[in-house]
A and B are shown apart, each in its own frame.
Chain A
Amino acid sequence: MTVATRSAILGSAGGWRRVLREQPVIPLTAILLILVIAYALVRPGVVNADWAGVILRAAVPLAILAGCQTLAMLTGGIDLSVGAVASMAGFVVASLVNGPGLWVGLAVALTAALLAGLLTGVGVGIFRVHPLIMSLGVSFVVLGLANAWQIMMVQSSTGTVPEFRTIGSDRFAQIVPYSFVVFVPLAALILVGLKRTGYGRMLYAIGDNPVAARLSGARGWQVLIVLYVISALMAAVGGFILSGLTNVSSVTLADSLVLPSVAAAVIGGTSIFGGRGGYVGTILGALILTVLSALLTALGYPEAVRQILFGAIIVAVAAAYTRVTQES
């Protein structure tokens, strides 16, 4: 049965559900707008171009790490090592910049991230270890090595590289963050890559039906190794920007972003079972989470209550979203 006839049978109610299912951007934008309006009501007069710039700036590192989760989740996987890899990358650059220089630091950090991604990819792709457990093990290894590195390189300051600070915190005309110079091409690459390249389609195929993908000639293990290498490199870039945004270089800097990165991808409509979703939704998911936490801070609740509301609202949004878009 084609989609057209089925929606005709289901009538108008099925029709709008179908639109929502295939265009997750619409309900997500609505949620985002509601949150922004709520913020404007709580803090009248604050919501303007400057505020939008601050929110966008804060959302960029989360959106990048959530991009790693999106790619992994499309294949039915997950990458819990993004936090450790991102923190490690930011820290390595900051620790090397005064001696060997910025470019050496970047090269070392990216190489380390590549090796970590390769390890995850080999475990998941060739040895068929569950991605959750594989990326968890790799995150232990990366964190431990980064800690050992920290003790070896006695550092004078906890701050980060000035170049990162510029990219992470500064804004064009006090509105558009400099980090868009990195983020926009990266996002475009992911979006085009997922929609238009064979590799992108293979990510969906493996997540949707691994057996069918193999029978139609996709070499799953190669796709997965490349996927986790890409994810680790993206995490490293996210780590650079995050350390610039916060002006902190620490080996646990990005740990608190791991769970929100999964949440952003899920809220954005990417299925954790694979085969369904995309990056536009994830970007909106990252924005929603950023505005939400800004809203909870603006309401003046203590940290504990903010955490509770944050969790409860994520469940509520995910539930509403599942209800609206589920086929039944």
Chain B
Amino acid sequence: MSAAMATADDRRRPFEAMVAWARRNGWVLGLLVLLGALLVFTKLINPNYGVNGIQGFAISVLPLAMAAVAQAICVIAGGIDLSIGSMMALTSVVAATQMKDQSEAFGVAVVVGVLILGLLLGVINGSVIVVTRVPDIVVTLAMSFVWGGAALVVLASPTSGSAKWLKDLVLGSVGIDLIPKAAILLLVIVAVVWIPLRRTRLGLSIYAIGSNQLAAFRSGVSVGRTKIAAYALTGLFAALGGLSLTASTGIGNPVPGPYTLLSVAAVVLGGVSLAGGRGGVFGPIVGVLILVLIQNDLAFLSLDPNLSLVTQGLILIGVVMFGSLIQWRQGRR
């Protein structure tokens, strides 16, 4: 009797654990369902959508996905970075100008250098915020002018220049044609940098200062240093975004794209609370996929591109309103 109950208990546990996991990640799962539905819809309206479509999609998504991961990290730490677009522009032009007419091997050194540059830009952002105690949004807003100006100093107009291997890293596909390299690259980078980090002391501290700065301070977290580290990671991913811009287009463009504000949108869409301390980086990536796929679908429907901007805005508003409605109902229960 008791043995039978024990087995029943054991059987129930994984199921309950699964339910609990699904509940915790409900928002991201919902987004994945929405993404699946969108993919089916895409196939329906454009039966030719296949390998090429998916590949082009993955490549066009890569820079924005990096920007979204960058934004997610500093938002989780309770900040916000409005200089991501400018940092991407700066790192992209530095990569393009340094790789121009150089050997392939030199390109490796350039990539490493650009990543370090990204870290450095992030450390500067973070240090200014911590030292001056001016709100994050104000500092990064002002720094977006600084980095954007620096990009213009490096390169006044778009110039081509990218090592061939860097382009090969992003373009094309692996094994069977359905899996684009860009998607693999994104997953590998996130898996190598973010997943181990989350389990470290630093990862936990980042969530802690985002969730409650005073409580984190009182439990012995060095708030200032953690914040600088979070912004350094944001800078690193912004540099990865800049590199993927250079790699996928083959040029460096000193004018910041729409990445800053879209990354904020993707982060919120991906279930990261702007108040900090909650969410992850996979939700924002799925958010980016949805935002870009909707844009593609509207193009397939040969809708006026301006109306697609309207639709993007409305979908952003709608999803976020829906989300806060759910939260509000949960709060009342």
Contacts and interface: CB of A to CB of B under 8 A. Distances in A.
Interface of A: 78, 80, 119, 123, 127-130, 132-134, 136-141, 143-145, 147-148, 151, 259, 262-263, 266, 272-273, 302-312, 314-315, 318-319, 322-323, 326
Given A136-B265, A263-B141, A312-B142, A123 B317 contact: yes
Contact of B138 (A141, A148, A262, A308): A262
A56 B141 CA distance: 25
27 contacts: A127-B325, A129-B324, A130-B274, A132-B264, A132-B274, A133-B274, A136-B264, A137-B265, A137-B316, A141-B309, A143-B309, A144-B306, A144-B308, A144-B313, A145-B310, A148-B304, A259-B82, A266-B138, A303-B149, A304-B152, A304-B156, A308-B146, A314-B145, A318-B139, A319-B128, A319-B131, A319-B132
Nearest to A319: B132
B241 interface: no
B134 A137 contact: no
Contacts of A151: 304, 306
B50 interface: no
Interface of A is mostly: helix
B307 A306 contact: no
Contacts of A136: 261, 264-265, 316
A85 to B, nearest CB: 13
A82 B92 CA distance: 30
B127 to A, nearest CB: 11
A138 B152 contact: no
Contacts of B309: 140-141, 143-144, 147
Nearest to B308: A144
Interface string B262-288: 001100100000100000000000000
A319 B146 contact: no
Interface residues of B, number: 46
Nearest to B267: A133
B132 A305 contact: no
Interface string B145-160: 1101111110010000
Given A304-B152, A318-B134, A319-B132, 12 more contacts: A129-B320, A129-B324, A133-B274, A133-B320, A137-B320, A140-B312, A151-B306, A262-B141, A308-B153, A311-B145, A318-B132, A318-B138
Contact of B146 (A127, A133, A259, A307): A307
B146 A311 contact: yes
Contacts of A141: 309-310, 313-314, 317
Contact of B149 (A147, A262, A311): A311
B279 to A, nearest CB: 13
B152 A307 contact: yes
B266 to A, nearest CB: 11
A319 B268 CA distance: 29
B328 A272 contact: no
B137 interface: yes
